Amino acid sequence: MAVPWLHEMSWPEVEAYLQEKDIVLLPVGSTEQHARHAPLGTDTFIAARLAEEAGQQADVVCAPPLHFGWSPHHMVLPGTISIEAPILQGLVFQIVKSLAHHGFRRFVLVNGHRIANLPWLQLAAEQAQRELGVRVVIFDPAFMQKEIVPALGFGKVGHAEEIETSQLMHLRPELVRIDLAVDSEPHPQALYEPDPNFAGDTLCYVPSTLAQMERVARTTGGSTGQPSKADAALGQRLHAHLVKRLGQVISQL
């Protein structure tokens, strides 16, 4: 498929697609601070490119990207836009509902904002499955990169750390100012950790309080992890791995 983006198609092209397929990808990102070295749209750029490349390979349509996510804890740094979860849930549900009305039956929500977008995406996905009788899965890079992250020599999942910075250096090198990256010392938590490779509880995530985030902003300018280790070549391998995984999710749906 030359152009996998729904908004670049005319309705007769969508009609023709629906004769043969009923899958659509929905990239969902955020507009939130990514430290001094990466742009606010990092999560959206990653989600959109994952969807675009996997869509192209699998001949599957992509809905227009959603640039807005749930980022209450990042409001401590300028430019961040945070939308309340019920509005995001309603928006994604109605996107799915509109497309289901035309005949789409299987949906992959491609999330670039990791664990912070998951709760409301899960509620939207369940609502769509129950009320519309469609099938919805969520594709989240943080989990789908579990195996390859240690292999690439990266540390644990934090924020604007070497993992997503590398991926963005591959995708949009002109938007990364790696010279401004600030590393933080890892301070291990006893029982909870949002890193999927952590041995304790990786699930019961609650976004940091503003007080906690203000400390992070003062110390590193918003990153958690070791972004100075970011590398475009490693980012390319990571990205290729994720595109492949997304392809698998599509083919198993």
- The residues in 187-246 that bind its own copies, with binding defined as CB under 8 A, are 190-192, 196, 199-207, 209-210, 221-222, 245
> How is residue 160 annotated by DSSP?
S
Rule CB under 8 A: is residue 67 a binding residue for its own copies? yes
Give 1 or 81: the residue with its C-beta nearer to its own copies. Answer: 81
Contacts of 221 (CB under 8 A, 6+ apart): 35, 36, 77, 180, 182
Of the candidate spans 27-35, 149-157, 161-169, 229-237, the one that interacts with its own copies by CB under 8 A turns out to be 27-35
Size of the site for its own copies (CB under 8 A): 98
Rule CB under 8 A: is residue 25 a binding residue for its own copies? no
3-state secondary structure of 159: strand
Of the candidate spans 51-59, 137-145, 151-159, 223-231, the one that interacts with its own copies by CB under 8 A turns out to be 137-145
Rule CB under 8 A: is residue 12 a binding residue for its own copies? yes
CB of 92 to its own copies, least distance (A): 10
Q: Which of residues 79-108 bind its own copies (CB under 8 A)?
A: 79-87, 90-91, 94-95, 98-99, 101-103
Angle in degrees, CA 78, 52, 252, rounded to 5: 115
Rule CB under 8 A: is residue 38 a binding residue for its own copies? yes
